[in-house]
């Protein structure tokens, strides 16, 4: 690790392993800067993009919002019960914000 420029990082790796064990680590994928809706592989631009590599519980995917300047799409992977709870909390939060 010292030769690769990661001197002292062995302690942060332990922290990551501990967070994985306790479920306190969230993986994030994608970026609003990737412009995934502007890609064309020969059959036209996509209407909807899903990042399939966020299969783990609690993973989050980000992309720019199609059709809305400056908006973002957020995808989240949760198990069935957690998703129901998330939707409930999310809807309550939107009501509090008057959206």
Give pLDDT, residue 1. Answer: 43
What range defines the domain where residue 74 resides? Answer: 26-96
| 10 occurs within a structural domain | no
72 pairs with which residues across the strands?
A: 64
Q: Residue 6 domain-assigned? A: no
Interior/surface letters 42-75, b for 16+ CB within 10 angstroms, e for the rest: eeeeeeebebeebeeeebebbbbeeeeeeeebeb
The answer to whether residue 75 sits within a structural domain is yes
Domain count, the chain: 1
- pLDDT by residue for the chain (99 residues), tens only, comes to 445 555 555 555 556 667 667 666 666 677 777 788 888 889 998 888 776 665 566 677 888 888 778 888 888 878 888 889 989 999 999 999 986
pLDDT of residue 72: 84
Is residue 52 a contact partner of residue 36, using CB atoms and an 8 Å limit? no
Q: Decide if 1 is inside a domain.
A: no
pTM here is 0.54
Establish if 87 belongs to a structural domain: yes
Bridge partners (DSSP) listed for residue 73: 63
Does 78 map to a domain?
A: yes
Residue 64 resides in a domain: yes
3-class state of residue 61 by DSSP = strand
Which pLDDT does position 88 carry in this prediction? 93
């Amino acid at each position: 690790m010292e030769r690769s420029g990661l001197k002292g990082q062995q302690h942060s790796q332990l922290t990551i392993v501990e967070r994985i064990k306790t479920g306190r680590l969230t993986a994030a994928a994608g970026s609003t800067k990737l412009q995934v809706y502007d890609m064309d592989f020969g059959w036209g631009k996509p209407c909807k993009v899903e990042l399939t590599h966020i299969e783990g519980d609690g993973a989050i995917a980000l992309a720019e919002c199609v059709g809305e300047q400056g908006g973002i799409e957020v995808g989240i992977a949760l198990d069935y019960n957690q998703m129901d709870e998330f939707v409930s909390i999310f809807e309550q939060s939107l009501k509090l914000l008057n959206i």
